[in-house]
């Protein structure tokens, strides 16, 4: 289940909370920046997890993307596709030619 490298990295990421009491906060933050994660233990139990701002942003973005995916799947599952029209049918019904669209100059301000 765990390979040797993962277990080693996990063990190296565990730090006691007493290191903060010894004035090692800056060193710990440097280690977080280098390694990406530190698990702070208090009384031999995890008290918090320190991650770099980059890691945090990646995690937040993954959560946001997951929530968007769930919303899209929810909408798709509740959509009645019997009245859905194809792109070409809509273009034809509106009298729009694809070539005309390609020839239009677009100004972006």
Give tens-digit pLDDT for 67-79.
Answer: 999 999 999 999 8
Residue 67 in domain:
no
Q: What per-residue confidence (pLDDT) applies to 5?
A: 54
Q: What per-residue confidence (pLDDT) applies to 79?
A: 87
Are 12 and 6 within 8 A, CB to CB?
no
Q: What per-residue confidence (pLDDT) applies to 1?
A: 45
Residue 41 in domain:
yes
- Residue 3 pLDDT greater than 50, yes or no: yes
User: How far apart are the C-alpha atoms of 55 and 11, rounded to whole Å?
Assistant: 19
Residue 92 in domain:
no
Residue 69 in domain:
no
- Residue 8 pLDDT greater than 80, yes or no: no
Give the domain extent around 46: 4-51
| Number of folded domains that form the chain | 1
Residue 85 in domain:
no
- Residue 104 pLDDT greater than 90, yes or no: no
State the average pLDDT over residues 2-25: 81
Give tens-digit pLDDT for 34-64.
Answer: 888 899 999 999 999 999 999 899 999 999 9
Residue 71 in domain:
no
Residue 14 in domain:
yes
The pTM assigned to this predicted structure is 0.60
């Amino acid at each position: 289940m765990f390979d040797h490298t993962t277990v080693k990295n996990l063990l190296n990421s565990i730090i006691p909370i007493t290191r903060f009491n010894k004035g090692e906060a800056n060193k710990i933050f440097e280690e977080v920046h280098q390694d990406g994660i530190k698990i702070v233990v208090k009384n031999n139990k995890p008290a918090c997890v320190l991650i770099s701002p980059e890691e945090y942003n990646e995690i937040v973005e993954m959560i946001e993307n997951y929530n968007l995916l769930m919303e899209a799947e929810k909408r798709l599952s509740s959509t009645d596709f019997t009245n859905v029209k194809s792109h070409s049918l809509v273009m034809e019904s509106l009298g729009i030619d694809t070539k005309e669209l390609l020839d239009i100059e677009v100004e972006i301000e």
